[in-house]
Structure 1
Amino acid sequence: MFNVASILVLVLLAVTFIQSGYDKVMDWKGNIAFLKDHFKNTSLKKHIPLALMHVLVFELISGILCIVGCIQLMINNDRTVGLYGGIFSCITLIMLLFGQRLAKDYDGARTIVIYFIPAVMAVYWLS
């Protein structure tokens, strides 16, 4: 297999975003309550449900594209969907990073950067 590293990174991103999306769906009210407190001193404080819905949609799109990209890489060596999965993952992580920086949660922002590095690697390897 020529694409083992790309597949492993896409699996990492898929697990990350599918699990995160699942958590948001299964505990919507708990996530809203946490985020209302987290963003209470920001301009997002009145838009938490809408912002969370946007993040959820992007996470699910990212995760699904990464899964399909893995399958395509393994079956016919096609990198297209995996590349889109990497790109959507980067966009999703930038959205999350923006929120953490806005909330002045610098430790949370640092954690997001840890995920951003493999996402950029996936984009680089698959482009």
Structure 2
Amino acid sequence: MDNFINNIVSITILLFLLITFLQSGIDKITDWKGNLSWLKEHFAKTFMGNAVPLLLAVVLIIEMITAICCVIGVYTLIANNDVFFGVLAMFLACITLLMLLFGQRVAKDYPGALTITCYFIVSIFGLYVISL
């Protein structure tokens, strides 16, 4: 119980990131065609327009890896106070969000970029807290 209490902020942020990335990944899997169609239109006038299927697959893979690391991170923080997977999950979340931010900026979707920035702030704060 002490490990849970001592790591409550990190655990809560990991759960937030788990929900965020797991839901996003599941949505991409269950509605691949819909996501692909929307993103092709979103990036049609950018240099990334032709690479959308590959980029969507890369984002899906890293989101699912991040979600898995979040689950393992919560478990290892509670079980033996080990921060490795928690740090990895939060770092991967930051990298994923930076990739998404880059895409939104390229597409000139500034409100979308702002939304991603909010998630990034939570992720970088979590990375800071777990690294203390």
Q: If the TM-score is normalised by the length of the shorter chain, which range does it land in?
A: over 0.9
How far apart in 1 are the matches of 2:103 and 2:23? 19
From 67, 71, 75, the equivalent of 2:75 is 71
How far apart in 1 are the matches of 2:81 and 2:59? 30
How far apart in 1 are the matches of 2:63 and 2:94? 10
Matches within 5 A, 1:14-33: 14-33=18-37
Identity %: 48
2:52 maps to 1:56 = no
Q: Provide the secondary structure at the position in 2 that maps to 1:46.
A: helix
Matches within 5 A, 1:100-119: 100-119=104-123
Deviation (angstroms), 1:118: 1.1
How far apart in 2 are the matches of 1:51 and 1:80? 27
Q: Which runs of 5+ in 2 are unaligned?
A: none
Report if the CA contact (8 A) 1:21-1:56 is conserved: yes
Report if the CA contact (8 A) 1:80-1:126 is conserved: no
How far apart in 2 are the matches of 1:75 and 1:118? 24
Q: Provide the secondary structure at the position in 2 that maps to 1:47.
A: helix
**Equivalences, count:** 127
TM, length-normalised to structure 2: 0.94
Q: Which residue of 2 aligns with 1:87?
A: 91
How far apart in 1 are the matches of 2:57 and 2:73? 24
- The Cα RMSD (Å) is 0.6
How far apart in 2 are the matches of 1:101 and 1:67? 30
Deviation (angstroms), 1:105: 0.2
Q: Which runs of 5+ in 1 are unaligned?
A: none
